[in-house]
Structure 1
Amino acid sequence: MGTVRVENIRIYAYHGCLNEETRIGSYYSVNVTVSADLKKASNSDKLSDTVDYVHINKIVKQEMATPSKLLEHVAKRISDRIFTEIDLVNKIKIYVSKINPPIGGDVEKVTVCLKFNRIS
């Protein structure tokens, strides 16, 4: 077993419950950690035997482009796509952060963290 992390994917997107959030948008940061059996890849040195982090980045960018009210919903959509498209992945941990959220205070970011396991 091993992990692949794709950290601090920076994206401008339009998520939120307030009208101005979906109209104006804001910056987000996404971190994805996946668990998979990487033993074969460690021996073969073949991209086809591992989790392609380029693929994970692409999924995150595409799902972040679809507005949602809740960051939890975006994280779930990302995990669903990863499980569907990358068979090696057994577990996923996703952090989705909204940078400078409009909550009436000096707050750097708000973050949700969700963990998912592949259902056999």
Structure 2
Amino acid sequence: MGIIKLKNIRTFSFHGCLVEESKIGSDYTVDLEIKTDLRKPSFSDELADTVDYVHLNRIVVEEMAIRSKLLEHVAQRIIARTFKELPEVSRIIVSVSKINPPIGGDVEAVTVQMEEYRS
């Protein structure tokens, strides 16, 4: 088995419960880690034998473009779509962070992290 990580995927999205957040938008970062069998591609050196991180990045960017009130909802959509489109993925850890959240304090980011295994 092996792990593929995409760190600090940056998007500008419109998530949040406040009406203003749907209009103004905010900066977000996403970290994605997947577990898959990397033995075959480690010998074959063929992209077709592994999980393409371009595909993973596209899933994240496209799901981040769909507005949600909660970061948990966005994270779950990323998980569900990854499992649906990439059957070789056995585990996913996704972290979605809102940079400078409007929470009335000096907070760099708020992050939701979710982990799921293929059932």
Compute the displacement of 1:22 (Å).
1.0
Unmatched segments (≥5 aa) in structure 1: none
Match of 2:20 in 1: 20
Match of 1:69, SS state, is coil
Amino acid at match of 1:32: L
1:1-120 equivalences in 2 (<5 Å): 1-119=1-119
CA RMSD between the two structures = 0.5
- Scaled by the length of structure 1, the TM-score of the pair is 0.98
% of aligned pairs identical? 57
Amino acid at match of 1:61: V
CA distance in 2, matches of 1:87, 1:43: 21
CA distance in 2, matches of 1:81, 1:45: 26
Amino acid at match of 1:103: I
Runs of 4+ in structure 1 over 6 Å off = none
Unmatched segments (≥5 aa) in structure 2: none
CA distance in 2, matches of 1:33, 1:45: 21
Match of 1:89, SS state, is coil
CA distance in 2, matches of 1:117, 1:73: 17
Match of 2:90, SS state, is strand
Aligned residue pairs, count = 119
Amino acid at match of 1:67: R
CA distance in 2, matches of 1:80, 1:44: 29
- Scaled by the length of structure 2, the TM-score of the pair is 0.98
